[in-house]
Structures are given as structure tokens and as C-alpha cells.
A and B are shown apart, each in its own frame.
Chain A
Amino acid sequence: MNRFALILALIATPALAEGPDTQALERLVRQDCGSCHGLTLRGGLGPDIRPKALSHYEPEVLQGVIMDGIPGTPMPPWRPLLTEAEAAWIADYLLNGATQ
């Protein structure tokens, strides 16, 4: 499902035909999501976003949260800075890949 969404997103974004720069995205998650959620993603002013804490999210919903934020909370919309494909990669990374 995740991969499918990612592939769809990639197809829809011809400029990123080679796929997101995963190293840069992983760095973004650790360092910049980490500003609020902690470098280890265990939470800070923002909540814990390790896989267990996010397990109730469908990947597409999480991708939407990343892109559009959560109004009324400090979670900002990342749409000005990320493509859908990149947000999809981050959602998948948070749900499955972030091990630490």
C-alpha cells in the first residue's frame, strides 16, 4: 500500500522521476522534524512520532498531515517545502523505517 502510494506519487511527479533524495529526507526528519519531535523522534514539544506511536495512521492520512499540518497546533504545513512524493516517503519512513 505504501509502495503503491509512493509509486503513484512518483508517476504524478515527473520532475522527481529518479525518486526522492532519501538521504536528504532522512536528515530532514531527524534534524528538522526533530526540532519539535526530538532527534530520536521520541517527542519534545511535539508528540512521539516513532512507528508505535503512529501505528493508528493510514499512510495517506499521515502524508496529508505532513503536507497540510494540523491547524490549531504547532504542526506546520510542509507543502511549501516538500513534494507529495517526498511526503509519502517520509510517511513510510516514519511508519516503517525509522528504527531509532
Chain B
Amino acid sequence: MTALQRIFGGAAPVARWATPPEYFRNGERRGLAMRSAIAAVALAMCATGVTAQDIRATGDLGLVVERATGSLVVVDQSERARIGRIEGLGDLSHASLVYSPDERFAYVFGRDGGLTKVDIVEQSVVGRVMQAGNSIGGAISDDGQYVAVSNYEPGGVRIFDADTLDMVADIPTGGKTIGLVDIPGGRFVFSLWDQGETWIADLSSGAARITKIEGIGTNPYDALVTSDGRTYIAGLFGEDHLTALDLWQDTPQPQKILPGYAGDREGLPVYKMPHLEGWALAGHEFVLPAIGQHEVLWVDARSLQETGRTATHGQPVFAMARPDGRQVWVNFAHPKNDTIQVIDTITKDVIHQFEPGPGVLHMEFTPRGHEVWLSVRDAGKIMVYDTQTFEKLREIDAESPSGIFFTARAHRTGL
């Protein structure tokens, strides 16, 4: 009895089973008491966390979008394995997601306008709203309170309470919005494809205060922000340059970067729009996919002057710096989307090229960059590679995998 009391750390559960209700006969009381004692010990063990094998920390987990089946595969980076599947998320054909600050919940932005909140620990859908007809991505505020979604139809940005998924702000723009990112101060930044503007929505007061910046350029197709939240770069489909904004300025002014990078060269067909992401900083340079040219462009991060170009295998889609910045991994648009090239940041030379398989859609580095995970859509595989030796370490089955998102993203601005 005293031993049990020590385990329980209190008398309350002991008292309950020590005095069973009157309607039990004596023999039954003893049996019940024994069963209750076992149950109570089990309960106490759960409550005090001693059954650690049943608890899974989320810090090295991730989610992989299965675009055709509307589902997510839950993966464990350290085990290089899938550990579960979450279904019922609608049309995920161009889906992305962000994580809550505690890395327990993910907010998934589906192409069909669905915003779905999933619990990674329970591996279940815990909330879902159809918030628009056609959407393209989202972001979560620095404090984790607000989730913003960028919509094509109806064009604009809608902002939701991260707990309840209730809408807290509706920001119609009269056109398609792209390049939505979070920046410090409870703010979101996004651009308008049709109007060539960038808007900043400040949620710090609870209501959205909007700052509009005109003159970004014709048809911004995507944008990125650096992890300090300072430099926002919009890629332009309709003009031969990119545009940067210094968000530390009170009234950010559009600044052309890489003006005339294509020059007189004929624009090559773009069978898939490049993606710009916060992984663009390699050392002290940005590495950016050209559009209509088969090359990546290097820009000094401070002066925003061009520092070089690297000819590539095809139209780059993602040019992603390994987290330490030492390498840049590039994948390509159709029909070259079976290939990856790895570029050395110092020499700007392609140091490795390989063909993981048909339809390499996405890459995700482990947080410190020792491995990279690739989704190879038409092979139905996630492939894990060592970034030092380029050796393939593992294949994991998935249905038409696209985006791979590790939970460490929870702690990065602008992803």
C-alpha cells in the first residue's frame, strides 16, 4: 500500500478503490480492487510519461503530399521511414503546408481552396474549411496565431485563426495572388499577378492594415523572403528582371535586380513556372532560377548585383541551397524533370548530375543538410540521398508524391 502510494504520489486513487461501493459482494470487491490497482498503476505510468516508447517527438518528422489521392504520408527523418498516412484532404495537386510553432499541427493548403489542419501526433484531420474556390499556398504568422491563404479564385488573401480556422480577415485583390510569406511583426507579404503590386498585411493589431507597393513589374509569378524577413524578391514572368524590396524600410521601394538578364536571347518555352523559396541564399549570394533561359543566376545578397551564371540542364524549377549554403540543388521543368544537378557555391560549377527517376517534383533537406529527400512522382517513391557522397540511402513508397515538408520549417521565417 505504501509502495503504491509512493508511485501515485497521493492518496486519492487509493482511497477510491479501497472503499468500493456497497453493492459489490466481498469476493468481487477484492477482484475489482486488484483490477483497479493494475489499471491505476498503468494510468499513473502513462500520466508520468514513463512509457516513453509510446511517445513520438515531432522534431524529426515530416509530411509528404500525395497529390493524386489527397493524402499525406507522415515520415520520420531519422528512421528514413514512413510512419503513417493522413487521408481526406481533397485536391492536393499543388499543395503546400506550414507548421504550428509546437510542431504538432500542420496547415495544408489545397488547390481546391481547402484549408486543412492536421495533427501529426494523432495522425488525423482535426479541422477543415473550404475557404475559396482555387488557392495556391499559405503562411503562418510569427506568433503562430494566424494562418493566411493565397487564393486565385476569388483573388486575394484570407486570414484564419490558427486554433479555430475561423476567418479573421478577408483581403480581396481583384486578381490572383502569389508569393505569400510571413515576416516578423505579425505581418504577411504577397504579390498580385495581374496588377504587379506587392501588399503587406499587418495583423499585429488584430485587424489587417494594408500597405500597397506599386511598380513591382509585369506578372510576378512567385516570390521569396530571406529568413531575416528583410529582402523580398519577386520573380517576373512578363519582364526581363526580378524585383527586390527592402522590408526594413518604412516605405519599401521596388529595386530591379538582374535587369536584362535574358538580353537578346530568345525566350525558351517554360513548361512549368519556377518556384522561389527562402532557400535561395547560398553563402552571401542568392541563387535564382532564370525564366525562359536554362540557367541559374547568382546575385550578391547585399549589393543585389549579378555575380555569375550557371548553365543548367533545362528550365530550373527549384534552385535550393543546402542549409549550410555550400551546394545548390536544382530540378527542372518538363521534359527534363527526371534530372537533378548539384552546383558548387564557390566555383558555381555543376559538380554532380543524376537521374533519380521520372518527375522529380520537390526536394527537402534535413535541417542541417546531411541528407536530401526527393519526391519522384512517376516512380511513386521518396528517395533519400546523402548530400556529401550523393549515395542513395533509401526509397520510401508514396502515391504520386510532390511536396516534402519537414517540421523544422516551423521555426523558419518566410517558408
Contacts and interface: CB of A to CB of B under 8 A. Distances in A.
Interface of A: 31-32, 34-36, 38-40, 42-45, 69, 74, 76-78, 80-81
Contact of B134 (A43, A69, A74, A81): A43
Contacts of A40: 91, 93, 111-112
Given A39-B93, A40-B93, A40-B112, 20 more contacts: A31-B334, A32-B271, A35-B334, A36-B272, A38-B91, A38-B93, A39-B67, A39-B111, A42-B111, A42-B112, A43-B153, A44-B152, A69-B269, A74-B219, A74-B221, A74-B270, A76-B271, A77-B269, A81-B271, A81-B334
B94 A44 contact: yes
Contact of B111 (A31, A38, A74, A77): A38
7 contacts: A31-B334, A35-B271, A35-B272, A43-B152, A44-B152, A76-B270, A80-B269
Contacts of B221: 45, 74
B133 to A, nearest CB: 8
Contacts of B193: 45
B192 to A, nearest CB: 13
B359 A44 contact: no
Contact of A36 (B68, B269, B273): B273
A39 B134 contact: no
Contacts of A42: 111-112, 134
Interface string B282-302: 000000000000000000000
B322 interface: no
Interface of B: 67-68, 91, 93-94, 111-112, 134, 136, 152-153, 176, 178, 193, 219, 221, 237, 269-273, 333-335, 359, 377-378
A74 B315 CA distance: 14
Contacts of A45: 136, 152, 176, 178, 193, 221, 273
B86 to A, nearest CB: 19
A42 B333 CA distance: 21
A81 B314 CA distance: 14
A53 B219 CA distance: 23
A12 B381 CA distance: 39
A31 B134 CA distance: 17
B312 to A, nearest CB: 17
Dominant SS at the A interface?
loop
Contacts of B269: 69, 76-78, 80
B380 to A, nearest CB: 13
Given A42-B134, A44-B111, A44-B152, A35 B273 contact: yes
A4 B219 CA distance: 39
Contacts of B237: 74
Contacts of B134: 38, 42-44
Q: Which 9 A-B pairs have the closest CB atoms?
A: A39-B93, A76-B269, A35-B272, A32-B334, A76-B270, A77-B269, A74-B237, A38-B111, A76-B271
Given A38-B134, A43-B153, A45-B273, A31 B94 contact: no
A32 B272 contact: yes
A35 B377 CA distance: 13
B136 A44 contact: yes
